[in-house]
């Protein structure tokens, strides 16, 4: 019997949707689930930035990481961090990350 505490999100489950976006003058494709596209669009609007500008900022932070993930993973991580701590969306504890990799 399914756990009543766990249910599908109101928007349902959906696989990734690929979109093309221009970053630093070149076009790239990013695959994200629709819920992440909506969250990314909302975050860009909240910061009064075009979507491509926010993605470019996330990409710069991603590239500066010691072990850069792919861009889609970086976007998902940034969005999740922003949801947890809106004041510091790009921050997360390196020690916590090392624990997860074990």
Using a CB cutoff of 8 Å and minimum separation of 24, what contacts does 6-10 make?
Answer: 9/35
In whole angstroms, what is the distance from residue 53 CA to residue 31 CA? 17
DSSP SS3 for 23: strand
Instruction: Tell me which of 98 and 64 has the higher pLDDT.
Output: 64
The predicted model scores a pTM of 0.79
The per-residue pLDDT for range 43-53, each reduced to its tens digit, is 999 999 999 99
The pLDDT value recorded for residue 8 is: 81
């Amino acid at each position: 019997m399914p756990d009543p505490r766990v249910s599908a999100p109101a928007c349902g489950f959906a696989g990734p949707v690929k979109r093309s976006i221009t970053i630093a003058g070149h076009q790239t494709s990013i695959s994200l689930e629709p819920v992440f596209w909506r969250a990314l669009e909302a975050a860009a609007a909240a910061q009064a930035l075009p979507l491509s500008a926010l993605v470019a900022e996330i990409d710069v932070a991603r590239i500066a990481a010691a072990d850069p993930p792919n861009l889609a993973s970086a976007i998902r991580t940034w969005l999740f961090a922003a949801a947890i701590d809106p004041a510091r969306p790009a921050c997360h504890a390196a020690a916590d990350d090392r624990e997860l990799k074990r």
